[in-house]
Amino acid sequence: MHYGIFSDTHANVEALKVVLDNIDRKHVDRYVCLGDTVGYGASPNECCDLVRKKAAFTIMGNHDAAVAGRMDYSYYYEAARQALDWHASILSEDNMKWLQSLVYVRTEGPVMFCHGSPLNLEEFEYIFAVEQARELCAHFAALSHVTFIGHSHLCKVFEISPEDAVEVEETSLTLKEGKKYIISVGSVGQPRDYDPRSCFVTYDTETRSFGFNRVEYDIETAARKILEADLSPNFGHRLRVGV
């Protein structure tokens, strides 16, 4: 199986269209979305429509859960709450029902897909540092060979054994037998690694090979639409910086 995996679109349809076009060129068998189709950006319905059309399945992200009424987001900062409230108010009935139906995890053979840590799925815990990955060592036997996650908006690979976890710096890799892997696939619509380009991942289960893919998109249009929607200007600024 050849997967095209993406996450954290955050209502950025300009980025999503470019990512989907580039995944098309990879001739994948299945598109997989790891969640957070909504939140922050100006085009929630357009993004939901595209993801529903293209993805074989989509995982529930924390922003999806907030908009769908499946979690308390009162502790989010004001600008993020404003965006979530606005998205909830304008989503079509079909898109709202779709968000409400999303699952927290899916496993296909030796591959697991979830939004945050595979532990305590509904709490959306982050894994972006090796110290966090080490917490999974005690659960080594229960982990899938590879778990793809989103949530942090960072491109990270952690190789896990029962004794330790290490961060792998390569942007493409053939996964080893006897190890377990957590791969954070980056973000389509709001990268946070100081590279403003969108990111997606491809993974081939036969060769156990994966790679990060970065693509440019029309950031200025996405940022302008955020301003026109009267959302926080900082959401547009972050797109330009990649943070």
Residue ranges in the chain whose pLDDT is less than 70? none
Q: Are 170 and 210 in contact (CB under 8 A)?
A: no
Q: Are 167 and 133 in contact (CB under 8 A)?
A: yes
Closest CA to 235 of 27, 45, 87, 19: 87
Instruction: Fill in the amino acid letter for 26.
Output: K
Q: Are 7 and 34 in contact (CB under 8 A)?
A: yes
3-class secondary-structure state, position 54: helix
Q: Dihedral of the CA atoms 82, 227, 124, 202 (nearest 10)?
A: 160
DSSP code at position 229: T
What integer pLDDT is reported at residue 217 of this predicted model? 98
Q: Report phi then psi at 214, rounded to 5.
A: -110, 135
Q: Are 213 and 10 in contact (CB under 8 A)?
A: no
What integer pLDDT is reported at residue 189 of this predicted model? 98
Nearest-angstrom CA–CA distance, 183 and 155: 8
The topology under which CATH files domain 2-241 is Purple Acid Phosphatase; chain A, domain 2 (3.60.21)
What integer pLDDT is reported at residue 236 of this predicted model? 97
Closest CA to 134 of 151, 159, 152, 168: 159
Nearest-angstrom CA–CA distance, 234 and 243: 10
What integer pLDDT is reported at residue 151 of this predicted model? 98
What integer pLDDT is reported at residue 65 of this predicted model? 98
What integer pLDDT is reported at residue 180 of this predicted model? 98
Closest CA to 154 of 120, 181, 116: 116
What integer pLDDT is reported at residue 171 of this predicted model? 94
Q: Is the pTM of this model over 0.75?
A: yes
Domain coordinates of the chain in residue numbers?
Answer: 2-241
